[in-house]
Amino acid sequence: MKKDSLNNNSNRLDLNFLKNKNTITIAKNLLGKILVHETNEGILKGIILETEAYLEDDPASHSFNGKTKRNEVMFKSEGHLYVYFTYGMHYCLNIVTNKENIGEAVLIRSIKPIMNENIMIKNRNGNPKHISDGPAKLCQAFNISIKDNGINLLSKNSKIYLEEGNILINKFIQTERIGISKGKELRYRFKLIETKNKRK
DNA sequence: AAGGCGATTGCCT
DNA sequence: GGCAATCGCCTTT
C-alpha cells in the first residue's frame, strides 16, 4: 500500500488555542476542530462532534480525589493527552486543559471520520457502522491507547494533533454528562447539532 | 491480599 | 431497554 506523503503540519493548532481559557470554554471550542493521528497505516482525520468537561472541583472527575498513578497526566499542563483504560477493555481520550497541578480535562466523545475512514473501519474489526461515535470507539478507530497517555499534542513533532476545522456555524446543545454516578446534574456535555462547510 | 468498580460497548430480548 | 464482558487501579483489611 502506498504511504501518505509527509504532512507539512501547516494547520496544526498552537498553544494559544488552549492557554488561559477555562475548561468549559475549551470543551465548546473543541467542537468542529479536527483530530489528526499520523499512523503507519495512514493519516487519520475526523471532526470532533461531542465533548465533556471534567473540572477540578467536580465529583465526576477522575482528578476529584487528587493525583494518583492512573490520573497523574490529568495534572500536567494543557495540551497533554490523558488516555485511560476502563471496563477492562476500553480506552478513552482526554485533552488536558489547565495549568500544571490543576486536574482538568475534556473528554472527546464523538468524531466524524473525514480521512482514511477505511483504515478506521479496519481498526474497528471491519464494522462499517458506528465507527467513532463513542469515546472508546473513537480511540479504537484512531488507534489511540494507553501508549499515547501523556504525550503532548502541542509539541511540534507529535503524531497526534489538532487542526482548525471548517465549521462556520457552530451550534451546539449543552446537557448532562453520560455514564457517571456523581455530578450528574452538571451540564458539561457539548454536542454539535448543525454544521456548515465554509466556502473555499 | 482481597474486593469493588468504572467518563463503555455490543449483543440479546 | 437490560446486562455481560473484562482488568487495572484504588480502597480497605
Residue A85 CA, nucleotide B1 C1', distance (Å): 23
Q: Which nucleotides of B are covered by protein (CB under 7 A)?
A: 6-10
DSSP state of A137: H
Is nucleic acid strand C under 7 Å from A149's C-beta?
no
pLDDT means per 10 residues, chain A with 200 residues, are 48 88 97 97 98 97 97 98 98 98 98 98 97 98 98 94 82 96 96 63
- pLDDT the model gives residue A2: 42
Is nucleic acid strand B under 7 Å from A90's C-beta?
yes
Q: Which nucleotides of C are covered by protein (CB under 7 A)?
A: 5-11
Backbone phi, then psi, for A149, in 5-degree steps? -65, 130
Strands A171-175 and A43-54: what pairing?
unpaired
- pLDDT the model gives residue A10: 62
Is nucleic acid strand C under 7 Å from A71's C-beta?
yes
Is nucleic acid strand B under 7 Å from A50's C-beta?
no
CA distance A162 to A176: 26
- pLDDT the model gives residue A199: 38
CA distance A53 to A190: 8
Residue nearest to nucleotide B5 (CA to C1'): A87
Which residues have a Cβ under 8 Å from the Cβ of A195 and sit 6 or more positions away? A32, A47, A167, A169, A170
- pLDDT the model gives residue A196: 55
**pTM greater than the 0.85 cutoff:** yes
- pLDDT the model gives residue A200: 36
C-alpha cell read off for A91: 480506552
Is nucleic acid strand C under 7 Å from A85's C-beta?
yes
- pLDDT the model gives residue A5: 46
Residue A88 CA, nucleotide B7 C1', distance (Å): 14
